[in-house]
Structure 1
Amino acid sequence: TSLPPSSPVSNPPHDVFGPPSPKTIVTISPPPSPPKHVPSPPKSVISPPQIYLPPIVYPPPPSPHKKPPQYAIWCVAKPTVPDPIIQFAMDYACGSGADCKSIQPNGSCFQPNSLLAHASYAFNSYWQNTKIGGGTCDFGGTAMLVTVDP
């Protein structure tokens, strides 16, 4: 259908919105094609040898101070052993490391002047001087350990 010549000519729509924008032509190029040969990574990688540092050695913690026994121990003659056997054992102790000067007449431990007291002093002196090296309080079964000061 055509419009009669007397009809008013309507303006094209671009008149309402302003002149048309210039047309922009955008060329889209395809992405670049991958290279024909891509080297694959090697099957095994040789790495430099690992360097191991020596371990850090810390000194051991200080050992707790060893407390002396809460009680003292003495080596004394058994009161049930006959005197001749006690005398023999005391002579052994005095000749093998006991300090028996104190139980001699006028010595600081001569009193009480009894074989049992003197043997107990000699046995204890010997044991105190030799126990660290393995000395015992036995004297052929004539001695025993006690925790009461004789």
Structure 2
Amino acid sequence: MKNTDTSQGCTNLKLRQLTRMVTRHYDHYVATCGLKNTQYALLSYAVSLEPVRPVDLARHMQMDASTLTRNMQPLVAQGWLTICAGNDARSRRIEVTTAGREKQAQAQRVWQEAQLTIVAQLGAERVAALHQLLEECIDCLDNGGEDASEPPHQCP
């Protein structure tokens, strides 16, 4: 029997629409510092975790290693990040330069403006509820690194 209940629509589509709108909002602010939102996030994670191995940074950011490497290239080229030798010949670590720390601090100030603006537009209660709902959904969908082909566990 065909399911004809479309009253809730496609969750993926709704989330992607919201994500694009929110990303545009933050990108507008962070671009004034010469960064993309993804670059600001990467730089901020690197600052907070430094020194960090690329594999650990990728895990914290919920991205694969090849995407991390690609996203780091402009930050390395600008002199904001350096990739150094790790504890052994096969490992590497990421460090933030002084210029990178300054860029991250500059971008954090405009990111805070973007955050205040979006909270003003949506309302603090709605933002808090959205954050809580998103965290709950992330917890329900997180399969703990299990094979993605396996069905995820069910949340109550």
Greater share of helix: 2
Task: Give TM-score, length-normalised by structure 2.
Answer: 0.22
Task: Give TM-score, length-normalised by structure 1.
Answer: 0.22
Larger Rg belongs to: 1
